[in-house]
Amino acid sequence: MRRLVLVLATLLLALPAAASAEPRDLAKQPTAVGAGGSAATVDAVATQAAIRALKAGGNAVDASIAAAGVLGVVEPYSCGIGGGGFMAIYTARDGQVHTIDSRETAPAAMGPDAFAGLTAFADQRVSGMSVGVPGTPRGWEKALAEYGTWPLKRALRDGIRAATRGFTVDQTFFNQTDEAKAIFADFPATAALYLDEDGTPRDVGTVIRNRDLARTYRLLAKQGMDAFYSGPLARAIVDAVQHPPVAPGAAREPRPGLMELSDLSGYEALDRDPTHITYRGLDVFGMGPPSSGGSTVGEILNILEGYDLGALPREQALHYYLEASRLAYADRGAYLGDPAFVDVPLAGLLSDSFAAERRGKITEAAAVSPVQPGDPTDDGAGPAKADGSASARRVGSTTNLTVTDRWGNVVDYTFTIEQTGGNGMVVPGYGFLLNNELTDFNIGPDGTSPQSANQIAGGKRPRSSIAPTIVLRDGKPAFALGSPGGASIITTVAQTIINHVDFGMTLPEAIAAPRLSQRNSPTTQTEQEFLGTPDAQALEARGHKFTVSTGTGAQIGAATAAEWLGGPTWLAAAEPVRRGGGAAAVVKPQRPGHDGRGHGHGPGKGERRGGHGHGRSRARR
């Protein structure tokens, strides 16, 4: 009898207990200081997944993928395996910054008229045509293979656990669902996950479990990422794109997309050379094309280096920041695109001479947008056609994470499905939303894509604003940061840098400060907290006009960052308020009274596995 009881007990323990376990609701703290590595994300469960990986011996890349897997569950409207992204990695072993491009691609059959006749953005977005070939799974695979130490199976454990246990709906998630509920209601697989039977968002405090996504993660953990790009899962993606799984009787008739199985099977994540500038003696590395993040952040900073911002009245310094942003966005729109399809004059855009030329356009009054692009080309040809794309004015939903480890490796990773909830379609049976990234191509008022660096073409990657950034001082990490926010990502990163470097704010203060985002538009987007301040009034006297968005766009970005404080000590920082506040943590929290300064050597110096990043760590800039 005793043996029977033991056998029954063993069988009960072997059952998937996590399926009925309650999710862990962890407290968020936006700042943490300590040793052993750090992590910052928008979600406490994701941050703790990274910290657990670091404690278990994983490096920053392993921990980043562990956190990303969780974010795909708890932040499904912002990211996941149905989208793409860009990752920046500093490997301490060789002191180099590397970047990985897992941006989505247009199906081979797409051309400039793919959206013809779809004049409303909502119709372009909620369609099979907007779905780019997802790149996130290949991006995770490449990062682990080249710079990580863990197999994918281990890195996905926390994501599987989160999907099985579920997460608790908070007010931010409720609000995001409420804004997208009309779209979600038209797709049964989406509505079943995120809406109540009456079509309203699930109440705050409700637990959402995503067993389909848990099964998908298990499939990938067992078979590898080839299982995403071929076989039944790939066929399910293509079927959803070609035959949008809309509810019977729905008023919406989404346009079918052109994706084929061959588009999925041929997808590759790519190694890219990072962008590089120097600013106030710091080396600033960012993401190169097809992202415009590194080039535009770099151009803004290059222009601003001609001013002693810290010595100026704050409103004057902010005026120069807004004008530098206005000019850099004009150049972004004219020249940035997929380098496999267009010749991006990157060296010219980031040259000191071009920055000086553009700086010369700035006066003490606000310019009237749209301003014209400059000419960074060697031949004086200028842009084939200036870009007035509406995508530069949209704020998307994305997520960012920043992770460091005890060996001194650093990762800043931004990944996305574009709008809040992507294109609204959950792949039936697999539990993840598809992206609408192809609306990032230039699309004119009639739905066709006019000639420009960012014109739609088959196999092309749409221009992005994602800007994971790693800043070095004397070859060692100073700080790293990134943010979501669509086209406002660039200004969020640039403003946070000048807040920290020029205005002397601590990194948490630099993140918390009210944001201004000028994107070569007649008005500058800002946040409510800035309006009515003396600086706002002084800027208005210079001719600046401000607007504040509503809903999920009312707050600009949701940054995460990390700063090396010396020796083994790191500071991790996330948003204190935006997007419900972020979560920062360290492996070994600083003792009370410790000054947070280290012992004068680089991160992890003398460690047996110092800066290993295991796998290939190519020395390239």
Q: Which residues are catalytic?
A: 398
324: tokens are 């530098």
d(CA 580, CA 554): 12
SS3 602: coil
Report the candidate in 102, 103, 101, 92 with the shortest Cα–Cα distance to residue 147. 92
Who contacts 373 (Cβ-Cβ below 8 Å, separation ≥6)?
330, 331, 333, 334, 335, 382, 383, 386
Beta strands in 184-315 (DSSP E): 207-208, 270-272, 275-279, 282-286
d(CA 499, CA 495): 6
SS3 594: coil
Who contacts 354 (Cβ-Cβ below 8 Å, separation ≥6)?
299, 302, 348, 374, 376
What is the 3-state secondary structure of 377-390? CCCCCCCCCCCCCH
544: tokens are 């600046």
At residue 183, φ and ψ (nearest 5 deg) are -70, -50
Report the candidate in 492, 507, 477 with the shortest Cα–Cα distance to residue 403. 477
Q: Where do runs of H (alpha helix) occur along 307-405?
A: 314-335, 346-349, 352-359
Given its phi and psi angles, is residue 188 left (phi above 0), alpha (psi -120 to 50 degrees) or beta?
Answer: alpha
Report the candidate in 209, 116, 165, 145 with the shortest Cα–Cα distance to residue 17. 165
Q: What is the DSSP letter of 311?
A: G
SS3 105: strand
